Amino acid sequence: MFLLRHGQSYFNLYFNETRVDPGIHDPELTPLGVAQAAAAAVRLADTPLTRIIVSPYTRALQTAQPILGVHKAPVSIMQEVREQAAFACDIGSPPEVLAGRFPHHDFAHLPAQWWHDGVETAEQTHHRANAFRALMAARDDSATTLLVGHWAFIRALTGTSLANGEIMEFDPRGGRPEPAA
């Protein structure tokens, strides 16, 4: 399968400059993040995709948009692939707000608060990643699936840190990384 970390968000921009949580809930992409999403769509244009899984955070949904313009694959919005809750940016938007902003997606299956309440431990994130890995390993279409997700979740899933807009191939049938210390 293919893993894409969302493009640069306003949280990423300010946090990377100051290392202080800027207090932005569910941030949007910056102009650079929009460009990273467009570049990812170009890189994936010739990749056969039969399924696209997207985290319900705005930054992931915005990153998926240009890819959906190229690939007409079914989209699954999955709260299970959300970011590890550690900062203000990890407070999401309620499903009805997301549905108003992204009317072409279905959010009806999400609970009113689909994000983690409080700080999520690395072990909890790793547990979610292992459950997702098992789900994908059991699917016949995992090799042609794209996940648009987040740094900590992808790191828990693969043991690899991706930069904003970076893509990697991943075999969910492979070994499981240990939780990061």
Q: Quick one: pLDDT at residue 16?
A: 94
Q: Write the burial class of residue 8 (CB in 10 Å: 0-12 exposed, 13-18 middle, 19+ buried).
A: buried
Number of domains in the chain: 1
User: For residue 78, what pLDDT is reported?
Assistant: 98
Q: Region of 74 please: left (phi>0), alpha (psi -120 to 50) or beta.
A: beta
User: In this structure, is residue 180 part of a structural domain?
Assistant: no
Identify the pLDDT of residue 174. Answer: 85
Q: What is the pLDDT along the chain (181 residues), one digit of tens a residue?
A: 999 999 999 999 999 999 999 999 999 999 999 999 999 999 999 999 999 999 999 999 999 999 999 999 999 999 999 999 999 999 999 999 999 999 999 999 999 999 999 999 999 999 999 999 999 999 999 999 999 999 999 999 999 999 999 999 999 998 655 544 4
Does residue 11 form part of some domain?
yes
**Could you give the CA distance from residue 148 to residue 2 in angstroms, rounded to a whole number?**
9
Q: How far, CA to CA in Å, does 43 sit from each of 36, 37, 63, 109, 178?
A: 10, 10, 13, 31, 30
Whether residue 49 is contained in a domain is answered as yes
Which domain does 88 fall in, by range?
Answer: 2-169
Cα distance between residue 73 and residue 125, in whole Å:
27
| Structure confidence at residue 142 (pLDDT) | 94
**Residue 35 within any structural domain of the chain:** yes
- Predicted pLDDT at 177: 59
Please indicate, yes or no, if residue 122 is contained in any of the structural domains. Answer: yes
